[in-house]
Structure 1
Amino acid sequence: MAKRKEQRRAKDLSTMLVACEWGSCSYKGSRMEDLSEHMAQHLHDHLGEGDAMEDLDDYPCLWRGCEFVAIGSPKELALHAHFHLFHAKLMFVGRQQLQRHPVATACRQELNSSNLITELGEAFVCEWEHCDSTFNNPEWFYRHVDMHAHCTDLQPLPDQQQALFCSWKGCEAFFKIKYRLREHLRSHTQERLVACPTCGAMFSSNTKFYDHMQRQAQPDESLICEHCDKTFANERLLRDHVRQHVNHIKCPLCDMTCTSLGTLKIHIKFRHCDERPFPCDFCSSCFKNLHDLRKHMETHNEGAAYHCSVEGCEYSSRVSNTMREHYRRAHEGSMVSRYKCHLCDKTFSWCYTLTLHLRNKHQLKWPSGHTRFRYKKAEDGYMRLNMVRYETVEVTQEIMKNMAAKKRTPRKSAGGGAPSKRPALEPSPSPDPSPSPASSPAPSPAPSLTDQSEARSSPQGAGPVYCMLSSVSPEGEGPEEQGEEPVSGQSGAVRALAAVARGLGMHVV
């Protein structure tokens, strides 16, 4: 199967024809080598050489439909421009896929966003052991990393078997065949294999590309996520979505829990790291990413750079965020009360004012490891506090161990070895702050879904707060596979989450 995929991909690229969209250029190339040389000439003509290149303050991208400007860094523009070519190649692959396997639903995203690509920095860096090579061309970078996998030899394991080890910095993964190692390396390089020819969105597999199309089909109102009320076109998309609500990764530095390694990396970068590698050229401020730096640069605008577009309004601002805030307040009628307290029914116009109310009036505190409350639209149309969190049993056990160590009190388990749990929302300390674990049957040897729930009382008048913990199998099997009565209008994963909670006598919020 893997070999057939590689052969099919090679066949697609053998007929490739990619157009250069730099300025008014009409060049078309069939080889990435030719296209890269062509782009290098564009950059040479655009940037100049030597001192002339360094004298510029910013470097705009001339690719059609792109509004990117590299601030003080010609290297960043070079990487960005070469990525446009790589992105155009992926969109060609996407067109080939759709010709081979037509889909019923076409992409309906905006056409003018197809040439907008993500921020990339100044270079791609290979973190393979003993290799610190850098590249300004994504095509050469991905080929270079793929060569590491190709040249890797089998090494012995303790059980007298052999495996191919990933030598990427901090990675201990190993595989039996080279195709799996090459596939794994894409998780380090973030390489994408196909892009939507309509909107330009990039994907790591053809399956995710086709899911992109399916998500734009008319949703089935019966396939609704009970956690966020989104509807989906088919059962598999809903099942995959439900897993995104389950936190299965715990931060090693605090009790924050995340749904993916990507969100964990962002959390660690912004909450636990002091490194700020992006300095401002006009003041002493430094930032953790380019996005924050560019937003900050707006504060150095001379005079008002943004003016309200509403006729008769003379409001102006140096910062785009302030202008958007003005527009919402003054011209969109967004002062309507959209948020409501679940304890006293008081209404608020902004989520942060409701948060202050919950903390000061009702003494509620943020969940461990988190820095804000989250709100969900209720049946009455108001945004109310979301009091449900989904976490795997393994993550919850680790969190409870940390809590027990902090309190220096022994943690007792429920019958059958079930771990203690924590609610999604935690009240401020009360005379008896220790949670009471909910009793649940011992898990079967290999369940497709294992869920436990717990109720914990909030401050007086708040009512119980519920927490559901879930361990979802990769296939996301529902109760219908286990002989349970299916419930109309719910996915298998959602039915299982709700059924187990009700079986324990819990009300599902």
Structure 2
Amino acid sequence: MDFQDCVLTCEKQFHCGICKRGFSRNSDLTRHMRIHTSEKPFKCDICEQGFSQSGNLTRHMKIHTGEKPFKCDVCKRSFSRNGDLTRHMRIHTTHIKIHIGENPFKCDICDRRFSRNHDLTRHMRIHTGEKPFKCDICEQGFSQSGNLITHMKIHTGEKPFKCDVCKLSFSRNGDLTRHMKIHTTHIKIHIAENPFKCDICDRLFSRNHDLTRHMRIHTGEKSFKCDIYKQGFITNGDITTPMSIHTDE
């Protein structure tokens, strides 16, 4: 066997027994097999998260150390991973294209222009009505993959968006945003109608007089005294009842 034949036949002599993919080195095959076995031998000492490759663990550790070696030359923002910097740079490139009018991808129907062909492709579905992303459960179609992902939460029951006020959960962030208006409106009503607030328990009152009376609960002050037994009471109403006992006598 000459050198050329060896290159063709020996270049990928290590093959995966599951998917038949070939590798030139046994170490590459070993690493590849973790995809099938889900083995994650590289563990984070801090949070115990596992990784299939040592490089992924190295990048992960930057989250804990706060190291951000990848810096944007435009806005000086830093990132822990190069991939995050690459995605971030698209903000600047797209923004610049908008300012210089560089939108080479044009819709033939409505003449709208786009800076990326991908955006034009997605836009065209508005005109064509194409919905290539199908739900495997109910077969409903969607024009964008993100809409399908949101839709699937209806079937799975997943509700990752939780209200911090009443703990009610929602499958979509938009539903949570609309729900929060209930609390903000409700709070505004209470603040408008009850402007006098207790600094200790945050209870609201419509009149300053009611707040003054309420504060005696916290201070223990008993301004109203029984003339017969000298017993103290927080409110005038409290003293009225025992006084009736004395008058009946």
- TM-score for the superposition, normalised by structure 2: 0.45
CA radius of gyration, larger in: 2
Between Structure 1 and Structure 2, which shows a larger proportion of helix residues?
A: 2
Question: Which of 1 and 2 has higher RCO (CA within 8 Å, sep 6+)?
Answer: 1
- TM-score for the superposition, normalised by structure 1: 0.25
